[in-house]
Amino acid sequence: MNIAVLCSGNGTNLQAIIEAVKTGFIPAKIALVVSDNGGAYALTRAKNAGIETLVLNPKDYPVREAFDKEVIKNLSKKEVGLVVLAGFMRLLSPYFINEYRNRIMNIHPALLPSFKGTRGVKDALEYGVKITGPTVHFVDDKLDHGPIILQSAVEVKDDDTEETLLGRIHQEEHKIYPQAIKLFVEGRVKIEGRRVKIT
């Protein structure tokens, strides 16, 4: 199976996926890394691994759907079977989601359905939860809402800052994201309503 990874930033989850593919843990190929940010370090990680990259500037497109159509055109050329969002800071249009329904994964740094949005770690810390952690889920039409594939618990310490907590969440992300991708590629993920069953 060919995978495309969409990134906007540093690309630590991309790196974890690259390593998992390289070792054969994920039996698939990363066919393309797409970014909406030409300065994203994720692009350097991809190039260092010999993976083809594509940079598209959202400002070059009149509406979100036009940008997404250009991404999809490039994914189709590569016969991509799974789209992986790894720190991609754009909402996908309904058009994109319909094209790849149940074939788009995202990772969120909180235990969904709690603390949706871009401040997941900060919100969890401010709320005073004792446990948080990352969630891998399918992307649907609503923000941080699709069926949950895997989650991992991270204890919140009394002296945690946003940075220290995020660091430990990242460690778990780098374990469960490759694991979720592996399960999907191996055909072991089945969606029944809101529930994801793993065989």
Neighbours of 191 (CB within 10 A): 14
Distances (CA, A) of 10 to 15, 30, 42, 117, 181: 9, 17, 5, 19, 20
Q: Say what the pLDDT of residue 38 is.
A: 96
Phi, psi (rounded to 5 degrees) for 195: -95, 140
Q: What is the pLDDT of residues 127-175, one digit of tens each?
A: 999 999 999 999 999 999 999 999 999 999 999 999 999 999 999 999 9
Q: Say what the pLDDT of residue 187 is.
A: 98
Show the tokens assigned to 147: 């069926």
| DSSP run (H or E) holding 28 | none
> Dmax of the chain from CA atoms?
50
Q: Say what the pLDDT of residue 56 is.
A: 97
Assessment of whether the complete model's pTM goes beyond 0.85 = yes
Q: State the Cα–Cα distance between residues 11 and 100, nearest whole angstrom.
A: 22
Domains of the chain, CATH where assigned: 1-100 (3.40.50.170), 107-140+149-199 (3.40.50.170)
Residue 20 pLDDT level (bands cut at 50, 70, 90): very high
Share of the chain above pLDDT 70, in %: 100
Q: What is the pLDDT of residues 76-111, one digit of tens each?
A: 999 999 999 999 999 999 999 999 999 999 999 999
Show the tokens assigned to 148: 């949950």
Active-site residue, selected from the candidate residues 108, 137, 170, 174: 108
Which residue is it, tokens 């969409």? 6
137 as an active site residue: the answer is no
